[in-house]
Amino acid sequence: MRKLRFLPLILIIPIIFCIKIYREFDVEKMRDEIEKRYSQVVLDDRDNIIGAYLNSEEQWQIKGVEIPPRLKLAVLNYEDRKFYSHNGVDYLAIVRAVKTNLLEKRRVGASTITMQGVKLYKRRERTYLSKIEEIIESYKLEKYLSKDEILELYLNNAPYGSNIVGYETASQLYFGKSAKNLTWAEGATLAVLPNSPGLIWIEKNRDKLLNKRNNLLKNMYERGVIDEKQYRLSIKEELPKERKYFNSLAPHLTRRLVNEYDDRIIKSTINSELQKNIERIAREYGDYLNNRGIKNTAIIVVDNHSGEVKSYVGSQNFYDFQRNGQVDGVVAQRSVGSVLKPFLYALSIDEGLITPKSKLLDVPLYFSNFNPQNANKKYQGLVEAREALKKSLNIPFVKLLDEYGVDNFFYFLKDIIDFPERDYSNYGLSLILGTKEMSVENIAKLYYGLSQYGEFKDLKYIRDDKKIDGRKLISKGASYLALEAMQGVQRYGIDNLYLGRDGIAWKTGTSYGQRDAWAGGISPRWSVVVWCGNFTGEGNRNISGVVTAGQLLFKIFKVLPTENESFIKPSEELKKVEIDSETGYRLRYDVPSEEIDYPKDTKNLKVSPYYKKVFINSKGEEIDSRSKDFIESKEKIVLSYPIELLDYMARENISISNVRDEKIKIIYPLNNIKIFLPKDFEERKRLIVKVANPKNKKLYWYHNGKYIFSGRDRERAFDFLEGEHRLTLVSESGEVVEVKFYILRGK
């Protein structure tokens, strides 16, 4: 009786133990922790792996999302035929296993797939107690998860030899394909491997593995799972001879994505075939550039229909360690040269400042102490705005930016790119020449926005259903006119590449010091931006936006799928405006005119700055109200070009009709500016005074009221001392001009 008193206690303890095990087993925690084990992989736009990374345990473990039927049937027939009928435990199997273990001194298992799933999670030592724990936890697992979820859990965590875990990983590394494409023989191979992965795998004990696979196939045939033909063909399949490797495409992007996203499976927008082709071009062209001292390239290709990035090349070759191939040139900040000019062109149209036919000054000009020059050091006098864009002339665009406003253009860029700087004054008018550093990604975003007729959006690297809102910053009409002008770009030396490539609007740029070569191209289907240079920042006389980057741009367009599209003219967004034929601005006076397309919803187009109304006497002489003949005078509309243009034309012996202006002007220095003059190697640097004197008049020079000399010089050097200076010029016809300026001397 005394012994019986402890019987309830003896019975209660196991019950309490089982309850404790059951309650402490957290299924959600299990799923969360298993989720963290998976390797991060990046897929292309067709769900093929383009990048895979070891997990925290230095294992390859790719999460499979849908078990293929062939693998599923093979596993069930090999591991657990009663899987869908039991509640996590096969009692008959356990009894048989215990009997075999005790009587035959041979260890056999009786674990169901559910129990194996628990075992793979906990990874306990093999004892009878641990087996009891597995049974209890299996019960709970079956309560909270479906059979398919349990099977998926098991196969995603099953060991397949070495550091390969999970059926999808094994399929990729053994057969070089996704598990959804497995044959019956391959499915059977993956079914038997987890049974003894340390003993049997493709590079070890291959005969044993082959026998186990074929025995499983035979059993499946005998059970009617596969037919005779499938069986005969399957047993003839050879085992893979060696382990394969994951595809590695767009490595700069895949590494970027796994750092930005916690998802185990990242579905990118990259097109593998296109990426392979463009990576090949980058390697081959990179080798060509290397022989010219240019070591690095970067490329991005955007699908205009979706905004998805289809190719991303951060360097000429990721594995080129000698040329810093692992640097991601797509996100590196570089001086962008002239690739921003199309946007100022379009914005200026929207602002009513120009039409494509408006004449812009292209002569030497000074803006405070800033003296921009064209790349070829040549000038055209007056040039149409569209021609200035086609030829990438610096002077007209600096002058245009001065009129449009540096602040307006700066904040336009900031609205799209969202860079941290806030002070536009750090860049000044040189902003349009590329002094603001940007990345290939930034420029691609801008060019993609232009392809969308002025609606700017973020680029897409991840496939999702999320709609990206855009910002309408340029009108459709102005965007179209910019694209139209860019289609007319012609560059000597690479015309064999772009001639015949209709429907491509493009622009190139070269940074100061020939450090960076850029080219951006837009077709109705694609936006492409390329950069060539050196990641170290060193300049090279061979670096040219046209030749260096332009060639690469059209090599890329050559491999892009085309649809024979052309840019659609947004006729509903355009109207006809009448302009004067001579200068290309809004018609105001009775002069020859023509009609052109112009955006509807823009500011009113300004009138020509080159026409003015004058009064003439009976002799045809220009007079003013002080003349006694003024009452009888007649109005006349004449061209009045800026004196800088007239002076340039005079220097170049180019005549302009109807020139009546006989003024003189001090071009440099400008009034009230401060000029810093450092020392040079031989002497103190002298100030070069520049004068516009179209009629080549004799001039009398005065410094601080004191006469110094006379002559017809248009330039003269002075060794002015530090401080305030006043320079006065008097022409032989009596005209007087004067400037005041300040000299700051270096030591």
Residue given tokens 């003015």 in the structure block:
612
Q: Taking each helix axis from N to C terminus, what angle separates 184-192 and 206-222, rounded to the nearest 10 degrees?
A: 120
- Token pair recorded at residue 205: 């004990």
240/171 Cα distance (integer angstroms): 11
E strand spans, 65-204: 164-165
Alpha helices, H only, 291-327 = none
**Residues facing 594 on adjacent strands:** 579
In the set 39, 79, 234, 451, the catalytic residue is 79
Angle at 152 between CA 151 and CA 156, to 5 degrees: 120
* Continuous segment of H or E residues that includes residue 342: helix 341-350
Contact 741, 723 (CB under 8 A): no
- What does the alpha-carbon distance between residue 647 and residue 654 come to, in Å, rounded to a whole number? 10
511 part of the active site: no
79 belongs to the catalytic site:
yes
Residues with Cβ within 8 Å of 634's Cβ and at least 6 positions away in sequence, in order, are 615, 616
Do residues 665 and 643 make contact, with C-beta atoms less than 8 angstroms apart?
Answer: yes
The one-character DSSP state at 268 is B
For residue 262, give the nearest of 462, 434, 417 by alpha carbon: 462
The CA-CA-CA angle for residues 515, 518, 521, to 5°, reads: 180
Question: Edge-to-edge strands of the sheet including 611-616?
Answer: 622-623, 611-616, 634-639
> And the tokens for 281?
């071009």
87 burial type by CB count under 10 A (0-12 exposed, 13-18 middle, 19+ buried): exposed
- Distance between terminal CA atoms of the chain? 113
* 3-class secondary structure, 408: helix
Specify burial of residue 604 (Cβ count, 10 A radius: 0-12, 13-18, 19+): exposed
Q: Which of 252, 231, 230, 71 is nearest to 152 (CA)?
A: 71
Query: For residues 209 and 263, what is the distance between their CA atoms, to the nearest angstrom?
Result: 35
User: CA–CA separation, 529 vs 444, rounded Å?
Assistant: 6
Question: Catalytic one among 111, 272, 335, 338?
Answer: 338
d(C-alpha 720, C-alpha 71), whole Å: 90
d(CA 108, CA 99) in angstroms, rounded, equals: 10
Return the H-helix or E-strand segment holding 613.
strand 611-616
Distance CA 642, CA 650 (A): 13
Q: Helix or strand or coil: residue 680?
A: coil
Report the SS3 class of residue 223.
coil
Rounded Cα distance between 508 and 486, Å, is 10
CA-based nearest residue to 432, from 507, 491, 364 = 507
Map tokens 């005394």 to a residue: 2
Is 711 strand, coil or helix?
strand
Decide: helix, strand or coil at residue 200: coil
- Whether the CB-CB separation of 426 and 435 falls below 8 Å is answered with no
Contact by Cβ (8 Å): 276, 249: yes
Q: How far apart are CA 29 and CA 20, in angstroms?
A: 16
Task: For residue 736, give the 3-state DSSP assignment.
Answer: strand
Which positions are annotated as active-site residues?
79, 338
